[in-house]
Amino acid sequence: MIPKKTELVKPMYKRILIPIFIITSHFVFGQAPKYSNEFLSIGVGARALAMGNSVIASTNDASSGYWNPAGLTLLQTDFDAGLMHAEYFAGIAKYDYMGAAMKLDSVQWISASIIRFGVDDIPNTTDLIDKEGNIDYDRISKFSAADYAFLFSYARKSQIQGLSYGANIKVVYRNIGKFAHSWGFGLDAGAQFKHNRWSYGIVLRDITSTFNAWTFNEEELIIKVLDTTYNYAPDNSLEITLPRLLMGISREFPVYNKFTGLAEIDLDITFDGKRHVLIEGDPISIDPHLGIEINYNKLAFIRFGVGNFQQVVEFDNTESMTFQPNFGIGIQFKGFSIDYALTDLGDNSLALYSNIFSVRYSFNQKKSSKGNT
């Protein structure tokens, strides 16, 4: 039996609009503070991701603007720039990073970074059915749901030998097509201390908490239809990202002949309630992770990392420990670096690993030479 047109319209509208409202509420209202701006916890750079994000104490390139701004003081050249591209969930989600750093003088450095995590070409079927109740596939458009972060960093060497510090100004823009968008602002601060082969790092992200102010397009959300499904379009809202403390310690060590190594262990300490990590607490949770890098004469690199330790309850109510392994390699020659990492978003139960590539180029400013007279 063919359903009547009026019988078709109502279920179709429900199938169209409920998913859109779910997307909006997932990004905004369905999130406790600990999930706010979570895309900024993924990490940037194939080197760091291969090492399980364990680089707070050892980061020393343009990506330091994200990991620990104090690491900018360890740049070996006047300029450093890097790019990264990754795809998750079979290419549905795109994750991109671009950063550049510059030396101002012997004690000061600056950098700028851009991060984007988004899903593009999402079908917008809100106009699929016209006023007469006819289905018209030509009325389908597309939109993107994407998160952007812009980081502006400053770092400086202190008068204490081996100690440096830095800070970020962070601007966050989140957009869900024509349906909703938000602006957010925050501050990060970090420090590094190097002594002999040891390095120590500390970062306090979102020092004053990062605030995202959301604005919703009520007309696009079609309030009347949402009301018929016992939902309603949200008013403007404020989303808060609470502070997070990151600490790390690393050590360089000789391996054999021209082979040397670096090992680092980091702790991510959150204050926003119980999280599913190794050390669960309320309100404090601690997530440890470890990374190792072996290099040959600073030309070729192999990296390993482990993190995302979790206690998982099995079907027989027993608990077992799970963790996420990571792997990567890299090549560095005449200022160019190409790095590769095999990792995922951090949910090892999905086993959806992604191939991540990043490139970096470092160079010095050309010195002007005076001609002979």
Question: Residues 313-339: pLDDT tens digits?
Answer: 777 788 788 889 999 999 999 999 999
pLDDT-derived band at 136 (thresholds 50, 70, 90) equals confident
Dist. CA 363–CA 225, nearest whole Å = 58
Q: Helix (H, G, I), strand (E, B), or coil: what is residue 86?
A: strand
Higher pLDDT, 25 or 146: 146
Tokens of 215: 């604005």
> Which of 31-40, 191-200, 245-254, 310-319 has the lowest average pLDDT?
31-40
Tell me the whole-structure pTM to 2 decimals.
0.82
Domain borders along the chain are: 24-363
Asked if pLDDT for residue 22 goes beyond 60, the answer is no
Report which DSSP code applies to 137.
Answer: G
Q: What integer is the mean pLDDT of 209-215?
A: 87
Q: Is the pLDDT of residue 96 over 80?
A: yes
What CATH code would you report for 24-363? 2.40.160.40
> Tokens at residue 352, please?
């959806």
Predicted confidence at residue 361, as pLDDT, reads 96
The answer, yes or no, to whether residue 69 has pLDDT greater than 70, is: yes
CA distances from 134 to 12, 138, 170, 264 (A): 11, 12, 47, 62
Please give the torsion angle defined by the CA atoms of residues 68, 73, 77 and 81, in that order, rounded to the nearest 10 degrees.
20
